[in-house]
């Protein structure tokens, strides 16, 4: 990958941390709403470079972490049906449903296949016309265009054995829900660069103005993230609430119109349940009526999923910044990356898993 070293430059990171320290005069709470940013923050210890009183909250920006258990249950049920192959990205295989995950379903005889692209699932359906192939379509605005393209490709090729379980979620409605909550602690956001690369920045201005919360679009490397924090804190200190693009090498204000058009052709906005956060109005995408032939739950007659109980996992409190991963009584004891009880532990980008893999390991190594 090109152009990485300069965004991990230790001297520049140190200068940005110093600029942040000189800027801050009072406590502030900023949320990054991207699992990739959470991963980098904990991996590189960026939150530990910030002045005392500046808190980074690891928000609901990891699609693995916010996919609700009932959607996992639908995928598990389909994988067990005779003649059905359930295709999924690898990061979804260990996400727990209300009873088991997809890896366990495969061990019990379910036909679960890991793919790297939704078009891999389309190709598998083409090559195996005797099987029903279901793709588990999850993610934010970033992955929606490719998933929509898979539907269009299947339609163009006349594939009747391809369908999807769709669990897409949208970032701006979640930000509104977080800021509007009575127990909200968040005063500013670092927005996800890859989401904005698709959708642009137009939806964020009204949110910033309505709630008085600055929103800074950032990338994923240490320099990107600290520059985003600095810009956000400068706005907060000055009493401003604007949208800034600190990731201009990738993000344009208009985003990617072609990708947006593809997603908008296939998907429509619906209410969506988020793991740990509950149902957020108009916060997801589902297949439009003209593409119902590719809607797997409808095709196979699955009942509408009922929200699964949260159980012991405190992911909702973690994703809102009310608690930290290590405050969970199950963290690292009954809930580990190998045996999770909740989705935030599963993904390498999720807050719990990132803390477990990097922060606790670093402390263990230093103690040794």
- Strands 188-192, 215-218: pairing is parallel
Residues in the chain: 368
Shared-domain flag, residues 249 and 341: no
The reported pLDDT for the residue numbered 366 is 56
Asked if 56 and 162 sit in the same domain, the reply is yes
Q: What average pLDDT score do residues 43-54 get?
A: 95
Counting other chains too, the contacts that 20-26 makes at CB distance below 8 Å and 24 or more residues apart are 20/49, 20/50, 20/51, 20/54, 20/226, 20/229, 20/230, 20/233, 21/51, 23/230, 23/233, 23/234, 23/237, 24/51, 24/53, 24/54, 24/233, 24/237, 25/237, 26/53, 26/237
What is the extent of the structural domain holding 354?
315-367
Mean pLDDT of 286-303: 96
Residue for token digits 């934010």? 140
Same domain, 257 and 354: no
Average pLDDT value over all residues in the chain: 93
Residue 212: band (very low, low, confident or very high) from pLDDT cuts 50, 70, 90: very high
In the prediction, which pLDDT does 310 show?
66
DSSP reduced 3-state for 361:
helix
What is the pLDDT averaged over residues 147-162?
98
313, 338, 357 - which closes a domain: 313
Within 10 Å of residue 220's Cβ, how many Cβ atoms? 23
DSSP structure string for 81-140: STTEEEEE-GGGTT---SS--HHHHHHTT--EEE-SSHHHHHHHHHH-TTSEEEEEEEES
Mean pLDDT value of segment 161-182: 97
Same domain, 217 and 340: no
Span 242-266, average pLDDT: 97
In this structure, are 338 and 267 located in the same domain? no
Quick check: helix, strand or coil at residue 173?
A: helix
Among candidate residues 268, 292, 313, the one where a domain is terminated: 313
In this structure, are strands 267-274 and 278-287 parallel, antiparallel, or unpaired?
A: antiparallel
User: Whole-angstrom Cα distance, residue 5 to residue 14?
Assistant: 15
Query: Same structural domain for residues 349 and 200?
Result: no
| Cα 139 from Cα 323, distance rounded (Å) | 24
Q: What is the pLDDT of residue 9?
A: 93
pLDDT at 64: 84
State residue 312's pLDDT score. 82
168 contacts 282 by C-beta, under 8 angstroms = no
- Residue ending a domain, among 313, 334, 351, is 313
Structure-token pair, residue 88: 């999924």
Interval 328-339 mean pLDDT? 85
Q: Per-residue pLDDT averaged across 239-245, rounded?
A: 98
Residue pair 133/162 in contact by the 8 Å Cβ criterion: yes
- Is residue 17 domain-shared with residue 43, that is, in the same domain? yes
Query: Which whole number is the average pLDDT over 6-28?
Result: 96
pLDDT confidence tier of residue 68, bands split at 50, 70 and 90 = very high
User: 78 and 161: one domain?
Assistant: yes
Supply the pLDDT for residue 305.
72
Same domain, 7 and 72: yes
* Confidence bin at 349 (pLDDT 50/70/90): confident
Mean pLDDT of all residues in 66-88 = 96
Question: Mean pLDDT throughout 188-207?
Answer: 97
What is the predicted pLDDT for the residue at 247? 96
Do 254 and 192 share a domain, yes or no? yes
Is the model's pLDDT at 335 over the cut of 90? Answer: no
Residue 308: predicted pLDDT? 67
> How many domains in the chain?
2
Give dist(CA 166, CA 143) in Å, integer: 11
pLDDT of 346: 80
Average pLDDT over residues 134-159: 97
Q: For residue 364, what pLDDT is reported?
A: 59
pLDDT at position 1 is 46
326 has a pLDDT exceeding 60: yes
Answer yes or no: do 326 and 288 share one domain: no
- pLDDT at residue 336 in the model: 84
Beta strand pairing call for 162-169 and 278-287: antiparallel
361 shares a domain with 228: no
Collapsing DSSP states into helix, strand and coil, what is residue 357? helix
CATH number at residue 59: 3.40.50.11740
């Amino acid at each position: 990958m090109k152009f990485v070293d300069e965004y991990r430059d230790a001297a520049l990171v140190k200068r940005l941390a110093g600029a942040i320290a000189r800027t801050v005069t009072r406590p502030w709470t900023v949320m990054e709403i991207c699992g990739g940013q959470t991963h980098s923050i904990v991996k590189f210890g960026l939150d530990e470079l910030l002045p005392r009183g500046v808190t980074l909250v690891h928000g609901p920006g990891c699609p693995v972490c916010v996919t609700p258990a009932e959607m996992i249950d639908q995928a598990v049920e389909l994988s067990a049906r005779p003649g059905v192959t359930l295709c999924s990205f690898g990061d979804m295989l260990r996400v727990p449903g209300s009873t088991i995950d997809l890896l366990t379903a495969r061990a019990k005889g379910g036909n679960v296949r890991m793919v790297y692209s939704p078009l891999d699932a389309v190709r598998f359906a083409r090559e195996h016309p005797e099987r029903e192939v279901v793709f588990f379509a999850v993610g934010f605005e970033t992955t929606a265009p490719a998933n929509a393209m898979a539907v269009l490709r299947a339609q163009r090729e006349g594939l009747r054995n391809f369908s999807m379980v769709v669990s897409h979620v949208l970032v701006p409605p979640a930000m509104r829900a977080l800021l509007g909550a009575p127990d909200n602690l968040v005063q500013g956001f670092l927005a996800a660069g890859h989401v904005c690369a698709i959708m642009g920045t137009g939806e964020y201005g009204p949110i910033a103005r309505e709630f008085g919360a600055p929103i800074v679009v950032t990338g994923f490397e240490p320099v990107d993230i600290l520059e985003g924090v600095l810009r956000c804190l400068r706005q907060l200190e000055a009493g401003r609430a604007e949208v800034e693009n600190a990731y201009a090498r990738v993000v344009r204000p208009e985003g990617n119109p072609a990708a947006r058009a593809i997603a908008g052709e296939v998907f429509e906005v619906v209410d969506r349940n988020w793991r740990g956060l509950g149902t957020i109005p108009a916060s997801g995408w589902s297949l439009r009526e003209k593409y119902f032939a590719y809607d797997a739950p409808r095709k196979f007659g699955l009942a509408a999923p009922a929200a699964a109980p949260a159980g012991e996992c405190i992911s909702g409190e973690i994703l809102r910044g009310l608690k930290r991963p290590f405050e969970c009584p199950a963290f690292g004891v009954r809930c580990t990356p190998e045996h999770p009880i909740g989705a935030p532990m599963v993904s390498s980008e999720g807050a719990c898993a990132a803390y477990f893999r990097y922060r606790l390991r670093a402390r263990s190594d230093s103690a040794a």
